[in-house]
Amino acid sequence: MTWPGPEAGNSDAGAAPRRLNFIEQIVEDDLRSGKWGDRVHTRFPPEPNGYLHIGHAKSITLNYGLAEQYGGKFNLRFDDTNPVKEEEEYVQSIIADARWLGADWEDRLLYGSDYFGQMYEWALELVRKGKAYVCDLTAEETRQYRGTLTGPGRESPYRNRSVEENLDLFERMRKGEFPDGSRTLRAKIDMASANLNLRDPVMYRILHAHHHRQGDAWCIYPMYDWAHGLEDSIEGITHSICTLEFENHRPLYDWFIDAINEGRTEDGSGPWGRRICHPQQIEFARLILTHTVMSKRKLLELVRERHVRGWDDPRMPTVSGMRRRGYTPEAIRAFAKMIGVAKFNSTVDVGKLEYCVREDLNRRANRVMGVLRPLKVVIENYPEGQVEELDAVNNPEDSTAGTRKVPFSRELYIEQDDFREDPPKKFFRLAPGREVRLRYAYFITCQTVVKDAAGNVTELRCTYDPATRGGDAPDGRKVKATLHWVSAARAVDAEVRLYDHLFTAEDPSDVPEGRDWKELLNPESETVLTGCKVEPSLDGSAPGSRYQFERQGYFCVDSDSQVGRLVFNRTVTLKDTWAKIEQREKA
């Protein structure tokens, strides 16, 4: 499977010029100027403190796609610098999800924590260069000294300690001589900078915590700003792509690397050695999708409070959720490509994602018949006990998909929605006295409507025209509708879970003052239907199998599914013109 490059769908010579996004332009400019030779090396650097979501998928697609397009390399690197928030479970899920999305990091599955030793050495170097110092201010004092957005900060009273004292103190911090929070190592930059990140940022904090990979080897841990650029540098990353909120951090990212490089030389001669790699940080707008939330904090809350079935609930915007729902990696990648990448903070309509899913599944999902809300139909003139195996096309979009047999018998189920006793205008389906086609089978005409005491329609008595076997009338007469159906005798029972947007509001973060964002959860985001009837070919389908239920949508066998107890998730509905008409008529 090829990764969609920028020229995909536009490959004929002389076609419109390739339209590059701003990051591709930077990469191509660099390739042209030889800034990195012919190297392009990107990375995806998640913190293992949650599951990947569609926003991460955008980032992975971007980063891996760039490496792929330009013959470069891509690393998967865990940014695991905070032992108290990170867990092995998340590491495993992230690896699985990134791989499923199609990214390939070869043997470069990396961990920022593996560089702790090197980072420590460089920190010592900055101390020796007089560019970092040990500060004894408390967290609260540090905050006060930092100043405000509009006013400068004050210098720490510990700012001018001697190099010797700083070296001694920092070494003892590392040895664990001091309690958590008692001291920090800070960069000596500028307490009056308009960029707060440059007001002597903390490089190391003391944390006597167990690290998921380093165990108890460390009791000082590097801060993101100090660590991240170094991780990129160590790995030889050329383009360090991140989201917009790190824009203000770029000057610091650059400052740290420049500070290390100060006094260093290209050939390594001199007291400090060889210059280190200085990647270019580039920021883009994170993905915001309508009708969902993306923050790890909120997703965690939904899981913990059991508003959903878990991180992989089909309603979640997580990669695992989308996978369970039946989305394909190809669809997600196509979506990422469709929305592009820019610096404008925009909100993408979730309908675009659904469009990509439909488009992909339309090409690859085999068609089957399944009745969600069964209505019994008895074909009065069809011989009792007779069963015919009729030919059905598996996928009209794929001639290699073949055909299958579908059993037809006297008693059937059709969809309740496909019958109206009193059909409104433009309703083409079955109604008293009306003739329709049963897909791949016969024309039937509704003769009698059977109701229970409460007046509910419980059964339809119909007749069929034997001459229309296979679905065509030899006399050329037409019907306005074709219905899906299932033989009552041969149907397989199934549970079907219908999914809709997780939130009713387009923007669930826009919640009225004093109200909880979770009040905006869509109470109908999941509808569980039992007693659904599907065609026998579906018996024993494995979890993850994807189908189109004709006229209804795409469905995926859920992981809860077992032999003898089929469970389907509705991935996405088919485009439904009738639903649109009906809605419009109502309005």
Partner RNA sequence: UGGCCUGUGGUGCAACUGGCAGCACGUCUGACUCUGGAUCAGAAGGUUCCAGGUUCGAGUCCUGGCAGGCCAGCCA
Which residues are designated catalytic? 47, 286, 296
Question: Is 351 a binder of RNA (CB under 7 A)?
Answer: yes
> Shortest gap between Cβ of 274 and RNA (angstroms)?
27
**Contact criterion met (CB below 8 Å) for 173 and 180:** no
Return the H-helix or E-strand segment holding 303.
helix 296-304
Considering only residues 62 to 101 of the shown chain, the ones binding RNA according to CB under 7 A are 79, 81-82, 85
Question: Is 517 a binder of RNA (CB under 7 A)?
Answer: no
Question: Is 386 a binder of RNA (CB under 7 A)?
Answer: no
> Shortest gap between Cβ of 6 and RNA (angstroms)?
11
- Segment interacting with RNA, rule: CB under 7 A, options 195-203, 371-379, 456-464, 512-520: 195-203
Question: Is 405 a binder of RNA (CB under 7 A)?
Answer: no
Question: Is 184 a binder of RNA (CB under 7 A)?
Answer: yes
Phi, then psi, of 245 in degrees rounded to 5: -65, -10
The residue among 34 and 151 lying less far from RNA, judged by its C-beta, is 151
Question: Is 403 a binder of RNA (CB under 7 A)?
Answer: no
d(CA 189, CA 201): 8
The correct pick among 14, 17, 271, 512 for binding RNA (CB under 7 A) is: 17
Give the number of other CB atoms < 10 A from CB of residue 584: 9
Q: How many residues does the chain have?
A: 587
d(CA 516, CA 406): 50
> Shortest gap between Cβ of 420 and RNA (angstroms)?
9
- Segment interacting with RNA, rule: CB under 7 A, options 34-42, 56-64, 166-174, 569-577: 569-577
**Contact criterion met (CB below 8 Å) for 154 and 135:** no
The residue among 69 and 362 lying less far from RNA, judged by its C-beta, is 362
Question: Is 228 a binder of RNA (CB under 7 A)?
Answer: yes
> Shortest gap between Cβ of 377 and RNA (angstroms)?
16
Q: Which residues contact 77 (CB under 8 A, 6 or more apart)?
A: 43, 44, 45, 108, 110, 111, 112, 231, 235
Question: Is 433 a binder of RNA (CB under 7 A)?
Answer: no
- Burial (CB count <10 Å: 0-12, 13-18, 19+), residue 560: middle
> Shortest gap between Cβ of 195 and RNA (angstroms)?
5
**Contact criterion met (CB below 8 Å) for 56 and 318:** no
Query: Amino acid identity of 494?
Result: A
Rg (alpha carbons) of the chain, rounded to whole number: 31
Count of residues of this chain found to bind RNA when the rule CB under 7 A is applied: 94
Site map (CB under 7 A) of RNA, residues 473-512, x = contact? --------xx------------------------------
β-partners of residue 463 are 445
**Largest interatomic CA distance in the chain:** 102
Question: Is 33 a binder of RNA (CB under 7 A)?
Answer: no
Nearest C-alpha neighbor of 232 from the set 44, 485, 9: 44
The residue among 308 and 556 lying less far from RNA, judged by its C-beta, is 556
> Shortest gap between Cβ of 72 and RNA (angstroms)?
20
